[in-house]
Structure 1
Amino acid sequence: MSSNPPRSSGRIPPPSSGPMPSWYTNERQGTYSGYSNPPSYRSAASSRGGETTPLLKHQSDSKASGTKGTCLLIFILLLALMSTVVLLHLKPREVALDPLAKDRIRREWQREIQNHEAMRQGWEREREKERLEMVHAREGLEEDRREILQMREKLERDRVKEHQEIAQMREQLERDREEERREILQMREQMERDRQEEHQEIAQMREQLERDRETWAHECEAGKRDEEKKRKEAEDRVRARFAWEGLEANEHCLRYGARQYTARLSNVPRGYDPLKACTETSIEIHGVRIASPHQCEDQGCNVVVGHWTVDSGEPSCATHFSSFSDKGCTAKGSGLRRIESRLEDLGAGDDWREMCTTTPADFYQMHFDAPHICANWGLWGVYGIWEIEDRNC
């Protein structure tokens, strides 16, 4: 066997497409001497992937596949070398002494060389096929890259176009919004003008209505005044015919300085309220005009009688007290002194109690509207009694 070629890092470089060196041929001859059918290159290539394997990993995948193939080749060479060494140790004398054995060994070597050459040629074909596949894959990858680049350019153009369309849409939307804001502003201004005009119209209508009301009120007031005036004139004409007849004074005094008078109202037309006619008809007694009776009495059959209480010009009803008699203290320590006086000028039939309790008196520089007590002592007459304060009692 020839000497082994120099090795680097325990790895034999793969065969190239040119003529093989002698050391590479001798090494392959010694390595596969024990194998009749060397391993197929397709099995090693299939472990690295075929045509359907994606080629997007670039050189990293191809380097990994080359490393696996190199390791397998080194393992095969080492196994062949060990087999050769074993054979040489087992038959050293036969190789050295027997020419037939040498011829047999040479024939075996020749077969191995032929097999190796065939295998090498197969490997070369496989390598060339793989190279072509790699070229095609690279071309496909380049085509894919170009397509990706075109797709990226198309996407960029589409993105730019989309951005332009979006910008145009935004501009159009902004214009539409601005136009809408202007329209809304115009509508608001128009509504404000309409509202102001409506308020002005309402204010004018209110003013006109107020003027109409005032005019109507004035007219109504004037009409009422006219009606009232006419009614009063008519009533005055009717009342002008009213007259009191048969004025009579009561024979008895009503109270101190007062007497009651009565009279009948005449000329009251039918349908006219007699009591109203009574209260609206005045009379003159003792030169004093009295607007209406103190009491009106409807006796029926259109007969109305008026009653007056006259408290002036009635001297016959002016009773008085004569001399005042001091009767001393009412009781020891009472602080009151008793004064008595007889009531004078009391008419027969007059109410002595009413006349006494309404007759004033003046004594001891004091004025009393009426006695504190009135007493009727029969033949001795009616007396007024006063109990005045006196610190001496």
Structure 2
Amino acid sequence: MSSRRNDNPPPYSPSSSEADPLIGPRKPYRRYRSPYLYVALIVLFIIAIMAFNFSTSLSNDPLDPDVRERIRKDWDIELRQHQKEVLERIDTQKRWRVEDNERINLREQWGAEVEKHNREVEDRLKRDEEHKSHMHEQWKRETEEHKKEVEELRRREEQDRIILREKWSREVEEHEREVEERRKHEEEERLRLNMFWTDLASHTCTTYATREYTARLVNVPSYYNRRVEACMTTPVKIHGVEYMPKWCEDHGPNDVIGHWEVDQHEPDCASYWIRYKNLGCISPGSGQRRIEHYLEHLPSGADWKEFCATTPANFLGMHFMGSEFCFQNKGGTYGHWVFDDESCK
């Protein structure tokens, strides 16, 4: 709000006093304008709207030639647009009819193909069934023929086996008869020639409780060419029991050597196990336990591996014909056994 500056003092008035204000009185300020201004603005706005509507009504007057020409052009445009839409609709309907006909044709063609396919499937199933039936009959015939062939083959093989068995039996009997005749002949000839053993000698132990013996066959003529046969059929008495040689060596008429391995009454060859030692489970969860023994009474000069493998052992209610693993440590022979044990699982 503006204020005026008073450069001149107020006029002197005889009626003024010291109590009068220095600034003179002002005109009252109108804070609010007159309502007539707003009314005038509203009236002008209404008049403008009426003038616009009037001009618009004048431009759309059907009696006006320009308006009629404009309307005619608009009608022509709308008519052409309508005709175009009609043509497009007719063309669309034609395409629809063509597509419908094509769909009908396709449906009929598809139906015909389906019927044809069904007929082909039925024919194929029928042919397959006939083929299966034919193959089944053929398989049955072939099976029967195969069974007959197998039975015939078995019958022939059985006949051949019977013939071979009879032939083999005859050959065995003939061979045994020849062997017996030859043995009798050799025995008679040996007795006639009075062949006998001399120089019977015992040797080292060959295996557990077994010792080797040798002897020389005497009274063998120089012309006799069946010295080995005579050696193998001439028994010798060892510990009061007759034994036949295990093998013979022919070094000449007066040097036929027989060899025996006697496994009875040979206590010097009987080794045995001592110092039973339980080595525990092989490994956790293995389910196997290891046992160790020391081999005692091993004959001098004997094969420690042979005696370790043939000396029987008994422990924990089990019997073993020999050790499973053998080794020597500091001149001693040891055997190990490994067996299943549930407590090691």
Query: TM-score under structure 1 normalisation?
Result: 0.39
Bigger radius of gyration among the two = 1
Q: Judging by fraction of residues, say which structure has more helix.
A: 1
Q: TM-score, normalised by structure 2?
A: 0.45
